[in-house]
């Protein structure tokens, strides 16, 4: 049954019966994206979760995303089809690490990427996503130190754009994006000289994309460093008929739907996030039937984290 039209009808029927809305991140399996009520990037999904009128949110994504929805909507039931769907980037810093880092810079403003646990968010001043990281850092008093965590490549991107010298960057990374490397990108750039290039800022190759642009391998106006939601917007106005995509491969599904006339190719077609892919059609059906896995955030932690997440959803487009 799973993945078939009957499965999709059953999922929709059970969701209606449970007064639930289904949210799916752009990296989810195509069947999950197609059955969801809303598909988007981390920022868009957080905003939708904050405003949902249904009593239950079913989050098809990874655990920190579902936790963020619970922080924003504490009175709602938040379910994730498989609570084991973690994130290697969120695991790269814990609350004790952050406490120790803050002790070194007691006056600094802490800006955390949304890919963090609720405990880390509770120690944070402002959260951000890849959509609004630059705007969030730009909103901080230029004279104050900023501790930016946990992604070193997104941090380097923000530092490059803002030119901010007092931005201190944690050395975390996402194993999927870090694995999309400069050599592959260089080879693809040479093989597709007329293509545009969409690069997620979590990629280890973001710097080499800009380098290639500087070398003329890619005209600078064909290189775009974008969040997953930003990629969809850019696809709709792309001038080239060929686009190379440097991010998790789940992204290709929405891109192909948004711009069917464009040939989208992954820079690295092995860049698949095993955590995102734990949300299978069977797991979603089980979630609706059994009402599991429910996401809980300790109320005191959620209260502390809420301010930083709310500031995140207020900043940027
Ligand atoms: P965005 O959807 O915010 O670009 O995030 C990408 C990501 O890696 C989520 O885990
Ligand atoms: Fe985390 Fe990377 Fe997977 Fe995104 S792609 S959920 S950052 S491990």
Instruction: Take residue 279 and report the two structure tokens written for it.
Output: 């949300």
pLDDT by 10s per residue, the chain, length 317: 677 999 999 999 999 999 999 999 999 999 999 999 999 998 899 889 999 999 999 999 999 999 999 999 999 999 999 999 999 999 999 999 999 999 999 999 999 999 999 999 999 999 999 989 999 999 999 999 999 999 999 999 999 889 999 999 999 999 999 988 888 888 888 888 889 999 999 987 766 676 667 776 677 778 898 999 999 999 999 989 999 999 999 999 999 999 999 999 999 999 999 999 999 999 999 999 999 999 999 999 999 999 999 999 999 77
**Domain spans of the chain, in order of start:** 5-86+276-306, 90-174, 180-266
Among residues 163, 234, 171, 236, which one has the least CA distance to residue 199? 234
CATH of the structural domain 5-86+276-306, one choice from 3.30.70.260, 3.40.50.1240, 3.40.50.10800, 1.10.1200.10? 3.40.50.10800
Atom of ligand 2 nearest to the CA of 61: 6
Instruction: Take residue 220 and report the two structure tokens written for it.
Output: 């600078």
| Residue 200 contacts residue 188 (beta carbons within 8 Å) | no
Residue nearest to atom 8 of ligand 1 (CA): 202
Atom of ligand 2 nearest to the CA of 174: 2
- Report how far residue 22's alpha carbon sits from residue 38's, in angstroms, rounded to the nearest whole number: 7
Which ligand is the nearest neighbour of the Cα of 232?
A: 1
Q: What CATH number was assigned to the domain covering residues 90-174?
A: 3.40.50.10800
- Report how far residue 169's alpha carbon sits from residue 223's, in angstroms, rounded to the nearest whole number: 24
Label residue 163 left, alpha or beta by phi (over 0 means left) and psi (-120 to 50 means alpha).
left
> Does the beta carbon of 249 lie inside 6 Å of ligand 2?
no
- Report how far residue 312's alpha carbon sits from residue 81's, in angstroms, rounded to the nearest whole number: 25
Residue nearest to atom 6 of ligand 2 (CA): 87
Domain boundaries 180-266, CATH class: alpha beta
Residues with Cβ within 8 Å of 141's Cβ and at least 6 positions away in sequence, in order, are 109
User: Could you tell which of 85, 87, 227, 250 is best to mutate to test the pocket of ligand 2, judged by most ligand atoms within 8 Å of the CB?
Assistant: 87
- CB atoms under 10 Å from CB of 193, counted, come to 11
Domain 5-86+276-306 matches domain 90-174 at the CATH topology level = yes
Q: Is the ipTM of this structure higher than 0.90?
A: yes
């Amino acid at each position: 049954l799973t993945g078939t039209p009957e499965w999709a009808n059953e999922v929709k029927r059970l969701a209606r019966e449970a007064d639930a809305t289904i949210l799916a991140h752009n990296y989810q399996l195509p069947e999950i994206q197609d059955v969801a009520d809303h598909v988007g990037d981390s920022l868009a999904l957080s905003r939708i979760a904050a405003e949902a009128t249904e009593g239950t949110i079913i989050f098809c994504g990874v655990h920190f995303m579902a936790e963020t929805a619970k922080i924003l909507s504490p009175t709602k039931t938040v379910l994730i089809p498989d609570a084991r769907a973690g994130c290697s980037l969120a695991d790269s810093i814990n609350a004790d690490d952050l406490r120790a880092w803050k002790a070194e810079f007691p006056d600094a403003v802490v800006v955390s990427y949304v890919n963090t646990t609720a405990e880390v968010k509770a120690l944070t001043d402002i959260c951000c996503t890849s959509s609004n990281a630059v705007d969030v850092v730009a909103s901080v008093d230029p004279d104050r130190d900023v501790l930016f965590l946990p992604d070193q490549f997104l941090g380097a991107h923000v530092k490059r754009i803002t030119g901010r010298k007092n931005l201190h960057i944690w050395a975390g990374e996402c194993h999927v994006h870090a694995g999309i490397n400069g050599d592959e990108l260089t080879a693809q750039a040479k093989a597709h000289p007329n293509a545009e290039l969409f690069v997620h800022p979590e990629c280890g190759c973001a710097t080499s994309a800009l380098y290639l642009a500087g070398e003329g391998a890619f005209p600078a106006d064909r290189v775009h460093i974008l969040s997953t939601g930003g990629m969809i917007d850019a696809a709709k106005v792309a001038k080239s008929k060929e686009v190379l995509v440097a991010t998790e491969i789940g992204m290709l599904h929405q891109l192909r739907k948004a711009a069917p006339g464009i040939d989208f190719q992954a820079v690295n077609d092995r860049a698949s996030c095993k955590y995102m892919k734990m949300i299978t059609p069977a797991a979603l059906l089980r979630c609706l039937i059994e009402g599991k896995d429910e996401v809980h955030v300790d109320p005191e932690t959620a209260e502390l984290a809420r301010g930083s997440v709310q500031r995140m959803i207020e900043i940027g487009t």
